[in-house]
Amino acid sequence: MTLQTNQKPSWLRVKLPGGDQHHDIKRNLREKKLFTVCEEAKCPNLGECWSSGTATLMILGEVCTRGCRFCAVQSGNPKGWLDPLEPQKCADTVKAMNLKYVVLTCVDRDDLPDGGAGQFAAVIQAIQREAPQCLIEVLTSDYQGDFAHVQVVLDAKPDVFAHNVETVRELTPRVRDPRAGYDQSLRVLEYAKSVDSRRIIKTSLMLGLGETESQVHQAMRDMRAVGVDVLTLGQYLRPTRKHLAVQEYLSPEKFDAYADVARDLGFLYVASGPLVRSSYKAGEFFLANYLARERAQAVRPVWEV
């Protein structure tokens, strides 16, 4: 079941941001001049997550060097700007919020020689030093396919490595910046898995951009073939009229059907639904428990999802 795109369906109605916890987080972030992808990408789950004390930190500033046609983050040229205090600011925020699981993501920084990988690693290490109990998921750029830069992030030992494929192969040239690429993203994910087969590898697809069912199924097969463990599937929502229009709104039942296919393909965990995003609270809860059990047993357990 799909719906016409002249109005959003009832299942996409979300609670507006509010509450003391939400305001405390926002004040803390503004005081440290930190940004969240929750705000920059206009995530529909911001109210729910912030009210429960969950936020995804976006490092390397708020200006992206790329111009993907689905993304609300500001595009431009930061001209090599970096905040040398950012690693400690992030670590202090994680410690102050007493987070047990944090997601770190970033804008693309093609203006930097290493794409920002060194700063990413420094943030991870600072959090590990100040909040060693906190599990760390990173959602990185593709570093233009340069594995040496990917390795810099991996050497900092995040618990989960994520990079988003975003859309199916056939729509990639229309949806993503020309410097990105479907196969380039798959190669980054494959490399990260090859370095340490025990590390959790994660990616995400937006749906509703005009993809076909067979294209989605093929994308999922491609992801499993390169070792992706965790997949999130969510509805694309147009952030402004300047961005790509929504082609269809998929029903919750359609997302459930895709999740069934993904599980049959062997993904460790699948989060699939209209409001699911790559940084999604339910998925983080699953991974936190999975990783805690793995650490305790020092072996990778078999999970039934």
- Mind listing the pLDDT tens digit for each residue in 144-162? 999 999 999 999 999 999 9
Domain count along the chain? 1
Q: What is the CATH number of the domain that holds 284?
A: 3.20.20.70
* 50 within some domain: yes
Whether pTM > 0.75 for this model: the answer is yes
Pairing between strand 160-162 and 74-75? unpaired
| Amino acid at position 15, single letter | K
Which residue has tokens 């190669």? 187
Note whether residue 125 is domain-resident.
Answer: yes
Closest CA to 271 of 207, 188, 192: 207
Alpha-carbon distance of 250 to 274, in angstroms, equals 7
Q: Give me the domain span that covers residue 57.
A: 9-297
pLDDT 10s digits, 24-50: 565 665 565 555 554 544 555 454 554
What is the DSSP pairing of strand 249-250 with strand 2-3? Answer: antiparallel
Q: Is residue 304 part of a domain?
A: no
For residue 302, is it within any domain? no
Q: Model confidence over 90-138: pLDDT tens digits?
A: 999 888 888 888 899 999 999 999 999 999 999 999 999 999 989 899 9
Interatomic CA distance for residues 159 and 100, integer angstroms: 12
Examine residue 305 and state whether it is found in any structural domain, yes or no.
Answer: no
Q: Mark 39-53 as b/e (b = at least 16 C-beta within 10 Å).
A: bbbebbbbbbbbbee
Residue 190 in any domain: the answer is yes
